[in-house]
Amino acid sequence: MNVNIARSHMIEQQLRPWQVSDARVLALFASVKREDFVPLAHKSLAFAELEIPLPGGQCMLTPCIEARLLQDLAVQPNETVLEIGAGSGFMAALLANSAQRVISLEINPELATLARNNLRQAGIQNAEVHQADGAGVGAAEGTYDAILLSGSVAQIPQTLLQILKLGGRLSAIVGDDPVMRATTVTRTSATEFKTVQTWDAVAPRLMNFPEPERFEF
């Protein structure tokens, strides 16, 4: 496989047709080496529009979903970003090349180590991976300019919205399979939030986030 050609095909034949038009996002996918964050057994799939398996039964999001979430979040160079669900560390790497500082939480210890090692080997110094349950994050952890959920949730917890700074954004894939939507919430005041749902997608669940009660007949 010619890596550079495969990377170019991913950008031109997958990302652009899927309405990824932000030049900064496209440049990130051209410069951050996705193949370095893919497990060795799946290197040949690094640029495919597939969920690539990771240890612990987890997976990487597809390139199109990663790119669209990043585009929706519109991270700025002076911002501090919280990611929930580090996976292999690729999204943290993308965010780190956009933001001032990235804190990525990963509940699985094996994945936390994998992500940490991948980021170090990539020479990324402004992203840190903590082994922690992102579903339990609260005000004690501080506030953030942007929050990205690298997986789906049934609903966005208020505890996460409360740690957004004024003007801060949170992006996630929200809903239940097969109906999920990319959702961006912006904090407009101390008590008010604006929610926009922009595109349909399906992504694996993040662990320990609340699920709605289901009625049985």
What pTM value is reported for the model? Answer: 0.95
Strands of the 164-176 sheet, one edge to the other: 127-131, 101-106, 80-84, 144-153, 164-176, 179-187, 193-200
Number of H helices, E strands in the chain: 6, 9
- Look at residue 217 and tell me if it is in a domain: no
Percent with pLDDT over 70 in the chain: 97
- Look at residue 212 and tell me if it is in a domain: no
pLDDT at 215 over 60: no
- Look at residue 135 and tell me if it is in a domain: yes
- Look at residue 207 and tell me if it is in a domain: no
pLDDT per residue as tens digits for the range 203-213: 999 999 998 77
pLDDT range class, residue 216, cuts 50, 70, 90: low
Count of domains observed in the chain: 1
We report the CATH number of the domain holding residue 42 as 3.40.50.150
- Look at residue 133 and tell me if it is in a domain: yes
pLDDT per residue as tens digits for the range 22-60: 999 999 999 999 999 999 999 999 999 999 999 999 999
pLDDT at 117 over 90: yes
Q: b/e for 96-115, b at 16 or more Cβ within 10 A? A: bbbbebbbbbbbbeebbebb
pLDDT range class, residue 1, cuts 50, 70, 90: confident
- Look at residue 208 and tell me if it is in a domain: no
- Look at residue 214 and tell me if it is in a domain: no
Quote the domain boundaries for residue 86: 3-200
pLDDT per residue as tens digits for the range 80-98: 999 999 999 999 999 999 9
- Look at residue 102 and tell me if it is in a domain: yes
pLDDT per residue as tens digits for the range 119-173: 999 999 999 999 999 999 877 778 999 999 999 999 999 999 999 999 999 999 9
Q: Look at 1-5, 72-76, 137-141, 199-203 and tell me which has the smallest mean pLDDT.
A: 137-141
Report, as an integer, the average pLDDT of 1-21: 96
